[in-house]
Structure 1
Amino acid sequence: MTPHSIVPRYRCWSKKLKTTLYTYPENWRAFKAQIAAQYSGARLKVASSAPAFTFGQTNRTPAFLNNFPLGKVPAFQGDDGFCLFESNAIAHYLSNEALRGSSPQAQSQVIQWVSFADSEIIPPASAWVFPTLGIMQFNKQATEQAKEEIKKVLSVLNQHLNTRTFLVGERVSLADISVACSMLWLYKQVLEPSFRQPYPNVTRWFQTCVNQPQFKAVLGEVKLCEKMAQFDPKKFADMQPKKDTATKKDTPPKKEKAAKEASKPQEKKEKKKEEKKAAPAVEEMDECEAALASEPKAKDPFAHLPKSPFVLDEFKRKYSNEDTLTVAVPHFWEHFDKEGYSIWYGEYKYPEELTMTFMSCNLIMGMFQRLDKLRKNGFASVILFGGNNDSSISGIWVFRGQDLAFTLSDDWQIDYESYSWRKLDPDTEETKTMVKEYFAWEGEFKHVGKPFNTGKCFK
């Protein structure tokens, strides 16, 4: 019997209430709960499409926010009214004793690996994989750092699995479910044969997991990538919200009418092509992308500002693809428009509440996700300083206009009041030093007073 055919026998879940999991399609975080339910026998209804649930709409309603204040998914609700948000808590609730660990030692080991997935795998995996999906702009420095961190993760797992079939004990546990789901997109997108070759135990374990009937019932067939996916600028551009730049003033009425009539056949052809191209992209959405796709078009909050000669996207390309200190920072100061843009220093107000560093990273990344629509008119480099139970968060933000951009949209105001904000004078040496240090992620950071954490949190 090969490892792929191992089928653990677990007792059925004792809670027979019908339960609902709200999510969007292909959400790997929701997969954890769904797979746990497959093992435990929990009756789980998945609401991921209209009319039961539409991400970006249903999760913004007062009724939903009353149960799940953050509006995030996956979100869980039982028929008895019991509600949970956060995927690990939901998966734990839907598990049985065998999945959670049958002894205090095993339970602690399960928590260890679930935390390992969140803190050590998800940040670098996101930084590497998201650009290949067109979800995030490519950053060469961040991608190379992410690859090195993934190698460390794979080495740890490979050593641990050298004499083990599963991460904890002799059967699948919540540890295997959580870690396998967190590595799903790595194996599907970027871990080509040559990259994964030094880590045979990890690949053996991953394939063993995803070929279990309970995994396959949720994931289907998981095909490992043959060639490492790369960032495609065109794909990224296509994923961005389209702006309607044409107005009636641009075209005389008669010519406009003639142009519309002549373009109708071409528009139909183009529309069909676009529909064909757009269809597969749905499977590659993360929370930000799903929200953007499902939300109605909103008025541009920056429409009232005059056009600026500073092209923010051009600076971002320099920052992502070329050396920060020798190219990107000089480019920034050479082209920065202090009339059209402003620079701000933001510092988290409640450092005493920051405990584990991975939770602090999730705090930062969650804020960035909710500010995704600000990307065209803003840039930020935010750093976590210190370590567990002794850390701080601060960063440099660049916005279009002279005011804090968060106040321009209700959607952007969730996190910003947790930070203190100070507008910086672009002509001072203090500002130039802070911009250089935060953009490059290196320097003395005299105003912070804590060591620089190797920084998995950035934008």
Structure 2
Amino acid sequence: MAPIGKLYSVPSMNQTTIIKATAAVAGVEFEEPEYKHYEDNKKPDFLAKFPHGKIPALECANGLNLTEGAAIAQVYDTYGEPIVASIPPNSGLLGGTLEDAALVDQYMHFAESEIHLCTEFIYLMLNGYMPYNKAIHTTMTERQIRGFNSLETILLTRTYLVGERLTLADITVSSVIFLAVSYTLDAPLRAKYPNILRHLDLIINQPKLKEVFGQPTFVEKAAQYTPPVKEKKEKEPKQPAPAQAPKKERPKKAEEDEEEEESLVPEEPKAKNPLDLLPKSTFNLEDWKRAYSNKDTRGPGGSLEWFYENFDREGFSVYRVDFKYNEELTLVFMSSNQIGGFFNRLEASRKYLFGSMGVLGEANNSIIAGALILRGQDVKPVVEVAPDYESYIYRKLDLENAEDKAFFEGALAWDLEIDGKKWQDGKNVSWRFFLNVRNRSLTSCFLVAVQVNERKFVCCILTIHVYHVVTL
């Protein structure tokens, strides 16, 4: 059979292995021209065919140009017949029915997003391609283990992932595990996943796949971060201190006169915050913040139940907050960052305030709203420390009113809905006004507290884009 086209790739890529394994089973051949990454993919003739400059890239003989490993592995020719992963009665790599094809696609995406992505992130951090962050390393490790657990359960009762024969799902999952056992899936973890290892052994030892995969390298211990060795600077010899001139004694009377003059100027007393002059309250705001962070929001024993049992209506009040200029809002993450900036500017009122605000709706059709719990009955002394406080509308909530109570609880539980607009992203102002994010994408370069698993927090420096935040 004549080659179906030219494949530009590097051997170490997981996607390259998937493409070559699929081609081997389907009996398809590729030309593999000499290729140097970061050089050839920047040349004008390459970019004319593949504008993103990404590999693997397939230049088909029929004029079709493709990138992305999954797309190449399923590419069709101009006659509507698969070039690589053909439907029965040929190789059957895409499954025998539409339902099977959907399952194959499901497992391919699962392997890439839940397991391989974590391996890649950890590899990039441990090898200096991005700044190392322990919190992200821990998150990626735990996310990957969750993926391993799910895959182990799936394979408990199955020889192959879809049906009773080899499919593209098996090839993709095996390729991902093949890489993981050499880097993150170490000996203690492997002992927990006999079904995953049995499946890997079955797939990579298929007669047509042995040469493509080769033999896996099993690590005894998962790769760990090694901090760079700091160079010790040689201490410069100390210069001898210059001799001090003898001090002249001042006349005793002059010293006494100076002391008298100083005592005549009293120190200016520090002005007390009027909120500190309020009668002592039985509601401890710090205890509430801890309850909110450590408990589920709704349900028996939740933080809302704690709040109603302990709230002091005389010493504290609850306010609804709405942004005045919602028509100016565009992308959700930008609106979310605006809330974070507002909370940061409330730093001077940190010990008098707790809040939960969010972005509701979608890009170019969203609003900002939320709720504040604050000391006293007047909102202004608490929020006027923020220069932009007048950009928001404040309305005192009556928790005896069903509508006000539902709004308050929705804002705290992050499931608030207003005029059909559902909660998309949110932030809490808390002990140190850290940014809280739950199952949302992050892009940041400052200290944040990432909120996951309802109300648990981990602090980290984020200098990269993380597109999933997962259970810690």
Structure with greater contact order relative to length (CA < 8 Å, sep ≥ 6): 1
When you count helix as a share of all residues, which structure comes out higher? 1
Larger radius of gyration: 2
When you count strand as a share of all residues, which structure comes out higher? 2
